Homo-oligomer: A and B are copies of this chain.
Amino acid sequence: MTELSTGGGIGYRRVATEEAFAPAEMLEHYVKLLRNGSGDKGFDSLWGFYLESQAQRPRDVRRRLADLGDERLSDMDATGIDHQVLALTSPGTQILDTATARSIAALANDAAAQAVRDHPTRFSALAAVALQDPESAVAELERAVTKLGLRGLIVNSHVHGEYLDDPKFWPVLEAAERLDVPVYLHPNTPTNRMIEPLLEAGLDGAVFGFAVETSTHLLRLITAGVFDRFPRLKLVVGHLGEALPFWLYRLDYMHTATVRAQRYEVLKPLQRKISDYFRSNIWVTTSGMAWEPAILFCRDVLGADRVLYAMDYPYQYAPDEVRAQDGLSISLDERRQFFETTATELFGISL
């Protein structure tokens, strides 16, 4: 059994790549939205729970989300996490009105940048933007990357029910490609147009709704030709790719058959197979999926260099899951790649 200690004495450092935070100012807006009616059924379900439940897990989550200092560092030490890639928790700015989204994005990026300055070996961070206003989003992403030193863009899935395959969002993707920083496509609850059969069964959240929403979003991005248009765009997806790696054969087969039959005006030929983009433009992290069979499956079908570690702190703060991944049946060199070097290269992190 490896020790849950930091510092690389076990042969690698652990870089956790899907680690959430939430400025108190944003949570105050969430409280207001819950009180006034957000118009988003998934938000009401998710944040009604995390902000109002008195159960232990949601209480721990909301306290830990707001901290970028001692408690977080102590939790990282206790579970052997050398470095967290911070990202604004879901849905981040994407549930807010445009003006509020702009100000919260800037505030969150400034707060994350401060944490990085305070603890440069322990934290790096992704930028939040107001996707509701793509022009300002491009400007904020540029500011966050070039002035604040942030290392990518967090996209918490849909934006008031819209997906990033809509070309109005493409300037943001173009900016990420130009700045050479990855886009992390993180789950949110499904849009009002998909959520009801999940919500009424209590399945709209992380248990399954996140997967439905995010896999749909990712597949829309691919089939809309985003990677043909932006061939150097890097996309990171949690939860081992939201199960799309499991579907690669069928996606290739049925997408090809459907395009050939010209069944849909909207479904145009792609330059490559769907599975090819997973092996060139997409990385998957193990957030929420600390399970050897699924991790090794993804390494097998995507490539070992496509799969990297994430904890999903504070939602899944589980030392046993670090141990499970320390114990993967791969070599020490492969564990270093999995826990450390794929992440440091992808996000441009110096430990």
Indicate if A273 sits at the interface (CB-CB under 8 A). no
CA distance A290 to B254 in the complex (A): 13
21 A-B contact pairs sorted by A residue (CB < 8 Å)? A55-B260, A56-B261, A57-B257, A57-B260, A57-B261, A193-B194, A201-B267, A202-B258, A202-B267, A203-B223, A205-B254, A205-B258, A205-B263, A206-B250, A208-B215, A208-B216, A212-B216, A245-B246, A246-B246, A293-B301, A297-B297
The answer on a CB contact under 8 Å between B300 and A207 is no
B197 contacts A263, CB within 8 Å? no
- Minimum C-beta distance from A202 to chain B (A): 3
* CB of A233 to closest CB in B, whole Å: 19
| Any B CB within 8 A of the CB of A289 | yes
Known A258-B202, A293-B301, A300-B293; judge A247-B208 contact (CB<8 A): yes
Q: Mark A183-224, 1 if CB is under 8 A from B, else 0.
A: 000000001011011101111011110011001100110011
Instruction: Judge if A58 is at the interface, Cβ distance under 8 Å.
Output: yes
A66 lies within 8 A of chain B by Cβ: no
Report if A289-B207 is in contact (Cβ < 8 Å); known contacts: A260-B55, A263-B49: no
Q: Are the CB atoms of B197 and A216 closer together than 8 Å?
A: yes
A344 in contact (CB, < 8 A): no
Interface residues of A, CB < 8 Å — how many? 62
- Report chain B residues within 8 Å CB of A211: 247
| Contacting residues, chain B, for A208 (C-beta < 8 A) | 215-216, 219, 247, 251, 254
Contacts of A80 in B (CB 8 A): none
A266: chain B residues within 8 A (beta carbon): 200-202
**B-chain residues with CB within 8 Å of residue A198 when the two chains form the complex:** 216
Q: 1/0 per position for A32-60, CB-CB distance to B under 8 A?
A: 00000000000000000100010111100
**Complex contacts, A255 vs chain B, CB 8 Å:** 207
Question: Which of B165, B254, B267 meets A206, CB within 8 Å?
Answer: B254
- How far is B258's CA from A193's CA once the two chains are assembled, in angstroms? 23
**A239 interfacial by beta-carbon distance below 8 Å:** yes
Among the listed B53, B201, B207, B264, which residue makes an inter-chain contact with A165, where contact means beta carbons less than 8 Å apart? B201
Given the complex, which residues of B lie within 8 Å of A254, measured CB to CB? 205-208, 288
Q: Do A251 and B207 have beta carbons less than 8 Å apart?
A: yes
Whole-angstrom distance between the alpha carbons of A250 and B208 in the complex?
Answer: 9
Q: Contacts A49-B261, A249-B289 given: A220-B207 contact, CB under 8 Å? A: no
- A219 pairs with B203, CB closer than 8 A: yes
Are A294 and B246 neighbours in the complex by a CB distance under 8 Å?
yes
Contact with B along A298-326 (1 / 0, CB 8 A): 00110000000000000010000000000
- A55, A163, A201, A224 — which one has the most chain B CB atoms within 10 A of its CB? A201
A216 lies within 8 A of B203 (CB): yes
Return chain B residues, CB-CB under 8 Å to A146. Answer: none
